[in-house]
A and B are shown apart, each in its own frame.
Chain A
Amino acid sequence: MSDTHAQTVAFVRDTEIPPSPPPASEAGVIKWLRENLFSSISNSILTILGLIAVYYMVVGLGPWLANSIWQSDSLAECREILDGATGACFAVIRERWNQLLFGFRYPSDEYWRPALAFILLFVAILPVLFSNLPRKLLIGTALYPFLAFWLIWGGSVLIPIVALLGFIVGGVAYSMMSARSFVGAVVAAIVAAAVTWWAGGLLLEIGSDFLALRAVPSRDLGGFMLNMILGTVCVSLSLPIGIVLALGRQSNLPIVKVLCVIFIEFVRGVPLITLLFVASVILAYFFPPESNLDLVLRVIIMITMFASAYIAEVIRGGLAALPRGQYEAADSLGLDYAQSMRLIILPQALKISIPGIVNVAVGLFKDTTLVAIISMYDLVGLIRGPILASTDWNGVYWELWSFAALLFFVICYGISQYSQWLERKLATDHR
């Protein structure tokens, strides 16, 4: 019975309708199954086909994983143990574990150094990722690159200290001059840093054995360590460079704008592998023979250039998405360009750009495997070259490649999960 009197026009409610639970058929597992898996004939067919596919996968993969061999010295020995049954030969990962992680030329009694650098990486990166940690930890983050360099490459402790001093002296010179003029301050900072490094170079020649770790040349780096080094360094460098390029592309100053556009369009228009060949072969022709710019450094420069061009375009998208009113509100309050960018525009533009930036970062991290093509022994180069070519392990494709895939997946999935958490945390617009 309705208490609206449809036949009369005037109506005043005098009884409240109490809320009641939904009918029993609209709740529980049955409802979920019906709605999600068997809502129509075509959906039911797809569900059954899906179940069949899952079944075959389990039947195929199950024994391969269940019979896997972890103790053996070669593929032949694996096959003997298996005696015709299907089974994975994960022994290769166990036997070549150190090679897969550190490369086959890194001195084995120094493995603790990159391992320690890897652990410290997390300590250094945490205060950047989680803004509720004490800000003082960022000092450790700033020192980390120098410490990690010393740990991985070795040599005298004076090398990273001089490098760090150069940055500190440059920073002090900048802050002393910045009140007068921005350009003057930048020039002063560069000159001060250069002088410090030059003087430090003299000092290094005297004290090259001071607190020295065993030096490891760049060509001896390899394995997943090389991917991690390239990925971490290039991502953390390309983000600030990308921001500068994106702002430069929006600049009112024609020369700055044209330079940024040319850089971005050129680098984006060239395949990364071409840039890597340039780094490994052609750059050697341009530099004087004695300059001997480190190969890893050349590769880092190329990948960073490449990634920063992409990140610049992603951030430009974020900048374009901001309403003009945000710029005007910042201007109308009297904030200058640097303040309005740092406090108003970039926090919002970067937030919008997070999915795109993460896309580039994940892609970049996986692209570090391309260095295998210019004969560097990163994880992929190492599997493809020394391990698969060895007589012991010739033919162990599935196990090795799925291990490589797993390593990359763990890192990339971690980055992706973090970025989604960050997006939720920064969501203040309550749309």
Chain B
Amino acid sequence: MTMTEDMHLDTSQMKVSDEVAISIDNMNKWYGSFHVLRDIDLTVHRGERIVICGPSGSGKSTLIRCINALEEHQQGRIEVDGTVLSSDLKNIDKIRSEVGMCFQHFNLFPHLTILENCTLAPIWVRKTPKKEAEETAMHFLRKVKIPEQADKYPGQLSGGQQQRVAIARSLCMRPRIMLFDEPTSALDPEMIKEVLDTMIELAEEGMTMLCVTHEMGFARQVANRVIFMDDGQIVEQNEPEAFFSNPQNERTKLFLSQILGH
């Protein structure tokens, strides 16, 4: 991939390919004796944008954290980009370097500048020369619209800016899949939009995305599938239009009425 490649694709061409990006088969996870994830089956195609919602404690964060092995699953099979997730550390590091992740609390490295945050993983994991890594970092910082903050430290930035840096930091690794774990939940209302705009732009470029979020507007606008989870199970999934206008399961109806009811 080159820097000059045109990143802005026509939205009408946004098509989901048949290629499978993530496939999860009959996956189960326990915390001690507590059964957090039960019989999860999920196939994500390349270019798909999936929003996962559900009440707190339903296991939605745990699910996406299993995909890059931040959490260990005890049963079932997870395959990411053709690599099966096992306890082999080499496999795990390979998957992690190809799957970007954004956290609720940004988790930027406070002792490094914004630019260093973005170049660290490319330099040490991908062995990219420093100069090239910095060019890539500036490219993505421009993309999230904060190139002028490159030499500041994370503590000097607002929440929304920090989350955009976190997105840029992930993108610097040229991931083929992005995971978002409630990226806007820790933000003030006026900063949510700037982060969502960045995510929408990413979606328009055809990035495969899994987002745990409560931003139903975002789900309507961007997702091509919405998944509702409760009690560690996938309760319902559908295209956003049908999901919001015509939920089938009682629990989905109750959740939607609570979250959209005011």
Contact = CB atoms under 8 A, between A and B. Distances in A.
Interface of A: 323, 325-326, 328-336, 339, 343-344, 347-348, 351, 426, 428-431
Give the size range of B's interface with the partner. Answer: 20 to 34
A427 to B, nearest CB: 9
B93 interface: yes
Given A325-B103, A328-B70, A426 B111 contact: yes
Given A333-B96, A348-B111, 8 more contacts: A326-B109, A329-B103, A329-B107, A331-B70, A334-B125, A344-B109, A430-B156, A431-B155
A339 B153 contact: no
B117 to A, nearest CB: 9
Q: Which of B94, B108, B120 has the most CB of A within 10 A?
A: B120
A428 B121 contact: no
Interface of B: 68-70, 89, 93-94, 96-101, 103, 105, 107-111, 120-121, 124-125, 153, 155-156, 169-170, 173
B96 A332 contact: yes
Nearest to B99: A332
Contacts of A428: 110-111, 153, 155
Nearest to A351: B111
Contacts of B93: 334, 336
Contacts of A343: 120, 124
Q: Which of B89, B105, B121 has the most CB of A within 10 A?
A: B121
Chain A binding surface SS class: helix
Contacts of A329: 101, 103, 107-109
A334 B92 CA distance: 8
Given A343-B120, A343-B124, A430-B155, A331 B96 contact: yes
A343 B122 CA distance: 13
B91 to A, nearest CB: 11
A367 B225 CA distance: 67
Nearest to B108: A329
A330 B93 CA distance: 11
Contacts of A334: 93-94, 96-98, 121, 125, 173
Contacts of B107: 323, 325-326, 328-329
Given A325-B103, A429-B153, A430-B153, A335 B111 contact: no
Contacts of A323: 105, 107
A353 to B, nearest CB: 13
30 contacts: A323-B107, A325-B107, A328-B70, A328-B107, A329-B103, A329-B108, A329-B109, A330-B109, A331-B68, A331-B70, A332-B68, A332-B70, A332-B99, A332-B100, A332-B170, A333-B96, A334-B96, A334-B97, A334-B121, A334-B125, A334-B173, A339-B125, A344-B109, A344-B120, A348-B109, A348-B110, A428-B111, A428-B153, A429-B110, A429-B155
